[in-house]
Amino acid sequence: MCQLLGLNCATPTDASFSFTGFCQRGGNTDHHADGWGIAFFEGKGLRLFVDHESASQSPMAEFLQRYPLKSRNIIAHVRKATIGEVALENAHPFVRELWGRHWVFAHNGDLKDYFPPLHGHFRPVGTTDSERAFCWLMQELAKSHASLPDVHELTLTLRELIPQVRRFGTFNFLLSNGEALWAHCSTKLHWLVRQHPFAQATLMDRDWTVNFAELNHPGDRAAVVVTTPLTSNEQWAAFEPDELKVFMDGLPVG
């Protein structure tokens, strides 16, 4: 299956360290070599990079590891194709507009025979079960709220919608509108918060140690969500099965 990486931060933060380790899983230290992507929110704007090449070999991924784009919400994905061919249109994350905002979604898992009724503005471009699920979530959110609700109301609605998708199979996902990061675990997700007093972290997939105390200020803080822990010397917490967490300003809020 695929792997997920998400960051939700109190201040604009670059993902170079986490993304560098994560990319190695796209065909080097793991077998997720069927495409990759990463999305950076920037105010109301969005920078989206996707590729059908493996992340460990992609020149664009190598560039982004060295180019420190800063964002408060970042979602990345490395793909192991199971449903849908290896093609650019099937690379996660996927993006849609709702209520005048970008929404970004990435999924890990298989949804068997999942073809929900899609009768509104949201239609898949590719052939993945993941994009169909995203379109359905966006469709149902739009039906449930006339305008952009607050994060608490969105979370309540998502809690009602997720089981309707989850019954078709594995539904680990990350979702963000640039304000918050929602993370749902059906089988495997881990998270931590990096904050003052910062410490050293060592990647598991590449020989690189960073002392975050030298790079951050006391007000900086970042929540990191990933399928499998990225570092060997930090305390990662596992999600419970079928748990939905929402992160804002680098902290879990629900």
Residues forming the active site: 2
Paired tokens of 185:
């675990």
CB 92 within 8 A of CB 107: yes
Pairing of the two strands 221-226 and 101-108: unpaired
Rounded Cα–Cα distance for residues 151 and 170 (Å): 25
Measured distance CA(23)–CA(119) in Å, rounded: 36
Between CA 59 and CA 2 the distance in angstroms is: 20
Neighbour-count burial of 44, counting CB atoms closer than 10 A to its CB (0-12 exposed, 13-18 middle, 19+ buried): exposed
Measured distance CA(131)–CA(33) in Å, rounded: 19
